[in-house]
Copies of this chain bind each other. A is one copy, B any other.
Amino acid sequence: MNGKATTTRTKLERGRSALGPALELVHTGRAPTRAVLTSELGVTRATAGAVAAELEALGLIRVDSSPGSAAGSQGRPSHRLSVLETGPVVLAAQVHADGFRAALVGLGGRIVATSPGCVAVMADPAQVLGEVVEAGAGLLRESGLRCVGAGLAVPSAVAEPEGTALNPLHIAWPAGSPVRDIFAACVRAAGITGPAFTGNDVNLTALAEHRHGAGRGAQHLLCVATGHRGVGGALVLDGRLHSGSSGLALEVGHLTVNPEGRPCHCGGRGCLDVETDPLAFLTTARREPGPEESLLKQAGNLLRAEYEDPAVRNAAEALIDRLGLGLAGLVNILNPDRIILGGLHRDLLEADPERLRAVVADRSLWGRSGSVPILPCTLAHNSLVGAAELAWQPVLDDPLGALA
């Protein structure tokens, strides 16, 4: 098929091959000491020592030789490993229906600095992303830290490899906007170093939760979440985001969950999108929906504050049943070992976890798969942290190469 198009990787390009995995272990908190790093990497103590020393020399991690507080076990206490607080950061940002937020995020998903939630005129993506990057650049100047990349989360499917936003329905951007290129241009224009990445917000939420939150340790993590409108999904397989062949996987909004339900713009009826989002909850509960940018909060508050109201409770149970049906369908297709829910779905889970689990168990064919754990997302600003993960990925894959 290809003659010699494949990259002939030279010796100079490949660094110490265990460097990336080691950094990822420290990054995700799975290697608190050099001893567990050794066993986790499956290498000798000598190698693990050399790798840790090299990561320390790169200014990425800290190796505490004198911990003082040993944890009771006998034997020589191991050196503690941790992310270096004063190490490099990435610029992370998220755009959503009611504004944007920029932040600096270090290794370990640590938010170093964050801008206040900003409201912006949403018409023109170039203008909005210009403001976003401007805010991030300000944080960067204040901090004086080194920046090694930038990541952006948008509430839209992002087509690969073009990097275009296909359905930014709930922000007023034109469909097909080349958000990745626009963001990258803004980043370069602001003089920020490192590559720039863009991804779907639910995908990035899943990635963040997998590395630092409720998804830790899951091998097949399914994430389903609402924003103000619509439903998104994401799948993290063996630690890597699965976004399909062109970035459009897990567009779960059009699973049929209520054959007699309301019509959907996709041409079908009773899609997950229009049956389980905040607007659906409010109308089912016979409440007047407020402005689009506050639907999620309105629905969440209603659910928590007035759950004893029969109309609210019935609406919640109806949505839980439909959500459960959708999740069961996804379980039959994807067979995940954990499900995490965000947005209104998270609130619905917390309102009546037993009901949701029962529906999923009942309608997913396999009893054993029916017992798949369903958990709420736990991370604050998870899509922001996920955007940062995107920017950190090259460093995690090849620390030497990415920092050179």
Contact pick for A219, options B8, B217, B233, B245, CB 8 Å: B245
Residue of B nearest to A367 (CB): B166
Interface residues of A in 5-50 (CB under 8 A from B): 5-9, 30, 36, 39-40, 42-44
Assess whether A266 is interfacial by the CB under 8 Å rule. yes
Q: Render A138-180 as a binary contact track against B, CB cut-off 8 A, 1 for contact.
A: 0000000000000000000101000000110000000000000
Residue of B nearest to A362 (CB): B267
Q: How far is the CA of A1 from the CA of B40 in the complex (A)?
A: 10
Among the interface residues A253, A270, A335, which one has the most CB atoms of the partner chain B within 10 A? A335
Contact pick for A244, options B9, B255, B329, B336, CB 8 Å: B336
Assess whether A4 is interfacial by the CB under 8 Å rule. yes
Q: How far is the CA of A80 from the CA of B235 in the complex (A)?
A: 42
A245 in contact with B362 (CB, 8 Å): no
Q: Render A361-399 as a binary contact track against B, CB cut-off 8 A, 1 for contact.
A: 011011011000000000000000000000000000000
Contact pick for A369, options B248, B333, B334, B365, CB 8 Å: B248
Q: How far is the CA of A271 from the CA of B40 in the complex (A)?
A: 45
Interface of A is mostly: loop
Q: Render A321-361 as a binary contact track against B, CB cut-off 8 A, 1 for contact.
A: 00000000110111111000000000000000000000000
Instruction: List residues of A whose CB falls within 8 A of some B CB.
Output: 1-9, 30, 36, 39-40, 42-44, 157, 159, 166-167, 217, 219-220, 233, 237, 242-256, 259-260, 266-270, 329-330, 332-337, 362-363, 365-366, 368-369
A-B contact sample (17 more), CB < 8 A, given A247-B335, A255-B329:
A3-B39, A5-B39, A7-B42, A8-B43, A9-B42, A159-B368, A167-B365, A220-B245, A244-B334, A244-B336, A246-B369, A251-B332, A251-B333, A251-B335, A256-B256, A266-B363, A333-B334
